[in-house]
Structure 1
């Protein structure tokens, strides 16, 4: 296995990192200032809202939002303190827990979604034409093979 990387590959990698960081920072400013939600918290609420019965096992949720189990546990602790999610025991697995979106969490998500969509559009797809967006999606699909959506 080679550890070499070409200057072009390194440049592109750094461009991807920079774009991701800039987009995330902009999104964070919008969500925190308007709705007191970090992007990771928004992602958790959104994933729960899309799930059957607005609930997911903690392990499944961690995979979907790309957080470690401990990172998700800390985030769920905060969201639970704010009344946005609840934990429920899994009837089929005594060690398993579900994260469940509360009505208050659903309302906060609904309030934050227009801000989220506006910020994402302004930072990413809104600056790409249809062909660039298609090419970007194809490229990211290749890079995301290990972590399907």
Structure 2
């Protein structure tokens, strides 16, 4: 019997799942990053910021809420929003009800950048992931990764 301090090593099936996940996610991220850079001059993170802002009411979100949606640090988000500001895609404004609060808001130029970048990005996501898997595999993937995400999120994040 194994002692309680001994690690629970991965069996062959568990190791295959882990390695498959790591390899596929790294390859997928690399390809998506390259496609977005080449087609629109955006990083994947910058594209995701624009997508979240375009889906938000009035095209704006508090920086803290945006950081939670992106699962990133506030400082990392601040850097990316600064880059997007320099490109004229995003602006910032103070929160009228909270002096510490700052909103990121999509500019008209940012809305157009998302509109132009989205078709190529979605086509590649479909080609590399969605169309490779069956509906059943997609359902299992969504359920399994949803469970992992729920366990990893802090209690205070919806």
Q: TM-score, normalised by structure 2?
A: 0.88
Question: Which structure 1 residue ranges, 4+ long, deviate > 4 Å from structure 2?
Answer: none
| Count of paired positions | 149
Alignment of 1:1-149 (within 5 A): 3-8=7-12, 9-146=14-151, 147=153
Larger of the two Rg values belongs to structure:
2
Q: Structure 2: state its 5+ residue gaps.
A: none
Q: Report the aligned-residue RMSD.
A: 1.7
Unaligned runs of 5+ in 1: none
CA shift for structure 1 position 12: 2.1
CA shift for structure 1 position 123: 1.1
- Deviation, 1:128, is 0.5
TM-score of the superposition, structure 1-length normalised? Answer: 0.93
Higher relative contact order (CA 8 A, sep 6+): 1
Q: 1:94-123 CA deviation, whole Å, 9 max, x = no partner? A: 011000000000000000000110110111
